[in-house]
A and B are shown apart, each in its own frame.
Chain A
């Protein structure tokens, strides 16, 4: 008897779900400070050295890596189904899954490299 193949769906759904929760909790605050409060001078932006020191902390790097990874896989999973349903492209199943999850993987590796080599 052929071995029953397990679906990979629950794995990707778990990444989607974790990424969605983290994004919901922290992204509006992050965007508000990084995209508006600093550029518009609502609060004084830290100096380059201060910010680099904060980001350079190993725990912050790890947290950033985890968050960025989950955010990309959240995008990949949700956008995949948006293309299937929104544009009725479910016949391109394999291609779309490859592009979305593949894209998220490449971006995750890039983020890992950037954070690993960060001074």
Chain B
């Protein structure tokens, strides 16, 4: 046996010669099996998976923006039909759920900003609270800009 406790190849060979069925012991990882629905066990896990699933709402919103552009390009009638569809009750309810998911994405994303972004002024580090405040201020400004662009004449 070598100093580190591992068998060197020639030693494995000699042991194999003495006993043909000899083989190195390969320890396996200990990996406990989890049920597929592990994330319903705790409220924290459920929050985590909900946060991750907000990506579906983001993707859906992007697809809907594309449909909006497509309908606009097809002409007035197609555009009207699309907007009528948006006003139907089932679609409104569905979009209510999606808006909640989008808001959950915004809040969880912005709350993580101080952890992802360390701002230094000279030798001092900007406090987390200020980084967070800056991001929420940016959210406010972005919201105002979007509303102004869409609603303003």
Partner of B63, one of A20, A33, A107: A107
- Chain B residues near A79: list those with CB within 8 A: 52, 55-56, 59
A119 at the interface (CB under 8 A from B): yes
Contact with A55, one of B36, B72, B80, B153 (Cβ below 8 angstroms):
B72
Chain B residue nearest to A54 in the complex (CB): B149
Whether B130 sits at the interface, judged by CB under 8 Å, is no
Query: Are B98's CB and A31's CB within 8 A?
Result: yes
Docked complex: A7-34 residues within 8 A CB-CB of B: 19-21, 23-34
| Contact present for B58 and A25 (CB under 8 Å) | no
Q: How many residues of B contact A (CB 8 A)?
A: 48
Tell me if A64 counts as interface (CB < 8 A to partner B). yes
Which interface class (under 10, 10 to 19, 20 to 34, 35 or more) fits A?
35 or more
**9 A-B pairs whose Cβ atoms sit less than 8 Å apart in the complex:** A23-B58, A25-B139, A39-B86, A48-B75, A67-B62, A75-B58, A78-B52, A88-B34, A114-B69
Chain A residues touching B, majority SS? helix
- Chain A residue numbers with a CB within 8 Å of B65 are 30, 64, 67-68
Within the assembled complex, what's the spacing in Å between the Cα atoms of A35 and B138? 22
Q: How far is the CA of A71 from the CA of B105 in the complex (A)?
A: 12
CA–CA, A64 to B67, complex, Å?
12
Contact assessment for A118 and B55 in the assembled complex, using a CB-CB cutoff below 8 Å: no
